[in-house]
Amino acid sequence: MSIFKACDIRGIYPDELDEELFADLGRAMGTLLRERAAAPRAIVGGDVRPSTPSLRAALIEGLAATGCHVADLGTVPTPVAYFAARRHRPDGLAIVTASHNPPGHNGLKLCLGDMPVTPDEIARLAQVAASGRFAGGHGGVERISVEGDYTAFLCAEAKPGDGFRLVLDCGNGACADLAPRVLRRLGYDPVELFCTPDGTFPNRSPNPSVPENLTALREAVAAHGAPLGVALDGDGDRVAVVDDRGRSLTGDQSIILLAQRVLGPGDRAVCDIKCSRAVLDAIEARGAEPLLERSGHAFIKTRMIQESARFGGELSGHFFYRELDGGDDGLYSILRIAELARDAGRPLSAVVDAMPRYAITPDVRVPYGRGDGGSRLDELAAGAHGEVLRLDGVRVAWPDGWALARVSVTEALLTFRFEAYRGSPRAIAERFLAPAPDLQRSVLERLDAMENTS
């Protein structure tokens, strides 16, 4: 699979990406920025992975060689880099990070202008980098810091913690120093887990959306009698939540939790297309309008900006806010969640138990079988007898549920999800997959196996 994804760049270091490639990516990015401005300004930061400093230096060198002026943030969480961009309004932003990917990976998140990068811009960047035809110039590099301003912003946006205890699992990631300091400054009582930066991630995976990665957090919530546990991902833009009973909240439950906190009548909320109907119900119960959007932080942030939405949620733990210009921030989300847990007047588990819910499957991943992913999706869409949405893959809705099929961006697989408002998701799967018996057989076998092991 290519390292050039729909929203960013990801790969294994140094097998799939290295300093030479990042120097070319810097030159390619600078070349594209030179099409927009004669003397463009770019902000660059990076996470705590061991390969990040040298990749960041190579990227900066490439940018400067095209005539860009580069402001180097050094090692920062991704939300701090986004904050710097909101403050300084550069022509481009680049963050060297593999986010929640395994320790041996690295990558690049970027913006060309004010809007999130598009798949076409990623493709153009790859094309220019491969061509070797770069703009020339003599740019400059300066080191800047915005952490103090970022901390002040968060503290101004949040209420005092008043000694509220929560367990904070930073996973040795980019927020490991910053998050405990902010919480203590606000008067919270954080129980710290893995709050020493270490880009080898020795204690758990940098991906907190997998419940198995939160065993230590769940145990610590129980051991300390804490009303809340939270976990950040490797670069600090995603958060996972554990309630007072030590249960990991699903992505749907976390979105509902925050939607109930921040939404009001007339607001709009952008929702991951994979979200449960329960999320849409909860948003509508607040008098707000839910808007389905393609999965991926760049797509949801773009829709947030276009719709002037108040809030957005992705099942992976990205949460988006109008106050952040449509952006996401794990620590900002923690402050919102902590306020809700503190002010609820009942345990967080009771809030979760009162949420609407339907029977929904986790992601089911199967090979294409014959043909390719796109042709198999077309086959399912053509045979559908329901409300078809081709926003991301193919989603078909009926009065009693919905089904979704998408092409994986990392493997030669199709990813399915099914929800039933009444009855069984298996019946929804059978109906959706009827035009493709081979896929139907493979998916139903996996659903049966999931049910037998649950």
Contact indicator for 407, 414 with CB cutoff of 8 Å: yes
Domain encompassing residue 270? 149-353
**41 HSE (CA, 13 A, CB side):** 8
pLDDT digits (tens, 9 = 90+) for 321-342: 999 999 999 999 999 999 999 9
Residue 1 lies in a domain: no
Residue 203 structure tokens? 């204690």
Residue 405 lies in a domain: yes
**Do residue 73 and residue 165 come from a single domain?**
no
Cα 161 to Cα 189: distance, rounded to the nearest angstrom:
8
pLDDT digits (tens, 9 = 90+) for 139-157: 999 999 999 999 999 999 9
Residue 2 lies in a domain: no
Q: Residue 450: pLDDT band by 50, 70, 90 thresholds?
A: confident
Last residue within a domain, chosen from 286, 319, 353 = 353
Active site residue 454: no
**Do residue 59 and residue 46 come from a single domain?**
yes
Residue 1 has pLDDT above 90, yes or no: no
Instruction: Report the CATH number that the domain containing residue 440 is assigned in CATH.
Output: 3.30.310.50
**140-143 and 311-313 beta bridge pairing:** unpaired
**Do residue 433 and residue 313 come from a single domain?**
no
Residue 234 lies in a domain: yes
Contact indicator for 92, 59 with CB cutoff of 8 Å: no
Q: Which residue is catalytic, options 27, 49, 100, 318? A: 318
**Do residue 190 and residue 319 come from a single domain?**
yes
Q: Residue 453: pLDDT band by 50, 70, 90 thresholds?
A: low
Q: If 0-12 CB within 10 Å is exposed, 13-18 middle and 19+ buried, where does residue 202 land?
A: exposed
Last residue within a domain, chosen from 120, 145, 170 = 145
Contact indicator for 146, 42 with CB cutoff of 8 Å: no
**Do residue 171 and residue 320 come from a single domain?**
yes
Residue 454 has pLDDT above 90, yes or no: no
Question: Residue 220: enclosing H or E segment and its boundaries?
Answer: helix 215-224
Q: Which residue is catalytic, options 51, 99, 248, 333? A: 99
Residue 201 structure tokens? 């991630």
**Do residue 333 and residue 383 come from a single domain?**
no
pLDDT digits (tens, 9 = 90+) for 424-445: 999 999 999 999 999 999 999 9
Amino acid at 40: P
Active site residue 318: yes
Q: What does the pLDDT read at residue 412?
A: 82
**Do residue 285 and residue 380 come from a single domain?**
no
Neighbours of 99 (CB within 10 A): 26
pTM (2 d.p.): 0.96
Amino acid at 29: M
- Which residues, at least 6 apart from 271, have a Cβ–Cβ distance to it below 8 Å? 255, 279, 280, 283, 290, 291, 292, 293, 312, 313
Active site residue 224: no
Q: Residue 371: pLDDT band by 50, 70, 90 thresholds?
A: confident
Instruction: Report the CATH number that the domain containing residue 246 is assigned in CATH.
Output: 3.40.120.10
**Do residue 43 and residue 80 come from a single domain?**
yes
Does residue 32 come out as left (phi exceeding 0), alpha (psi in the -120 to 50 range) or beta? alpha
**Do residue 336 and residue 385 come from a single domain?**
no
Residue 452 has pLDDT above 80, yes or no: no
DSSP, collapsed to helix, strand or coil, labels residue 361 as coil
pLDDT digits (tens, 9 = 90+) for 18-34: 999 999 999 999 999 99
SS (H, E, C) 203-215: CCCCCCCCHHHHH
pLDDT digits (tens, 9 = 90+) for 372-382: 899 999 999 99
Last residue within a domain, chosen from 94, 129, 145 = 145
pLDDT digits (tens, 9 = 90+) for 232-286: 999 999 999 999 999 999 999 999 999 999 999 999 999 999 999 999 999 999 9
Residue 100 has pLDDT above 70, yes or no: yes
Report angle CA 225, 354, 348 to the nearest 5 degrees.
Answer: 20
Question: Percentage of residues in the chain with pLDDT exceeding 90?
Answer: 95
Per the structure, how many domains does the chain have?
Answer: 3
